[in-house]
Amino acid sequence: MADETTTAAAPEAVESPEPANEEPQKPIDPDFEPEIIVFGCHYCAYAAADLAGSMRLQYPTNIRMIKLPCTGKLEIIHLLKALEAGADGVYAAGCLEGECHYLKGNLWARKRVEYTKKLLEEMGMEPERVEMFNMSSADGPLFAQRANEFTERIKRLGPSPVKQAKKAPAAKEGTPA
């Protein structure tokens, strides 16, 4: 199941898409449990999640999965609404590239995720809070690995600035006009 570039690796050690140039490490709050929304496609990611469950693989309970018929259904606004509502991170999980059940849905999703990263930069939010992953329906271990990696990434980034503002509303603001 390991891809060609990591022939000797176990499925759990598939090449990581984690960004290498991490910002200076912020201290990780041990009590911070991120809320993460996953948009998973029916044919691959959701099946992979099922398989991970059947295999009794452990992955963080931080993720909440929303099933889509295909990640091609994913719109930019879905990612933004999740963040606006206070999610600390959001990712889409689709079929392997070239193996989408609907041919190109996962490629559209990747473009939308990449565009959303740009929007987050505009807004001054870390673009790493959104991501696109690909996996096959047989990739139960990879599903768990991606969930672990992404949860770790968000823990490093800390709570969403939206959530922090919610907890501590600015006192200086008056009532809306």
For residues 136 and 160, which CB has a smaller minimum distance to other proteins in the complex?
160
For residues 1 and 119, which CB has a smaller minimum distance to other proteins in the complex?
119
In angstroms, what is the minimal distance from the CB of 122 to other proteins?
Answer: 4
What is the x/- site pattern for other proteins, positions 48-77, by CB under 8 A?
---------------------------xxx
DSSP-derived 3-state class of residue 115:
helix
User: Does 176 contact other proteins by CB under 8 A?
Assistant: yes
Among 96, 119, 127, 158, binds other proteins (CB under 8 A): 119
Helix then strand then coil, in percent of the chain rounded to 5, is 40, 15, 45
In angstroms, what is the minimal distance from the CB of 126 to other proteins?
Answer: 11
- Contacts with other proteins: how many residues (CB under 8 A)? 24
29: which 2 tokens?
A: 């709050």
Among 52, 124, 145, 150, binds other proteins (CB under 8 A): 124
58: which 2 tokens?
A: 């452990």
For residues 2 and 162, which CB has a smaller minimum distance to other proteins in the complex?
162
Question: At how many degrees (to 10) do helices 76-84 and 105-123 cross?
Answer: 40
Four-residue CA torsion sign, 16, 19, 24, 29: negative
- Residue 177 burial (CB count, 10 A): 3
- Residue 90 burial (CB count, 10 A): 27
DSSP state of 168: S
105: which 2 tokens?
A: 């849905």
User: Does 114 contact other proteins by CB under 8 A?
Assistant: no
Which residues of this chain interact with other proteins, rule CB under 8 A?
75-77, 80-81, 83-84, 119, 122-125, 161-162, 165-166, 168-170, 173-177
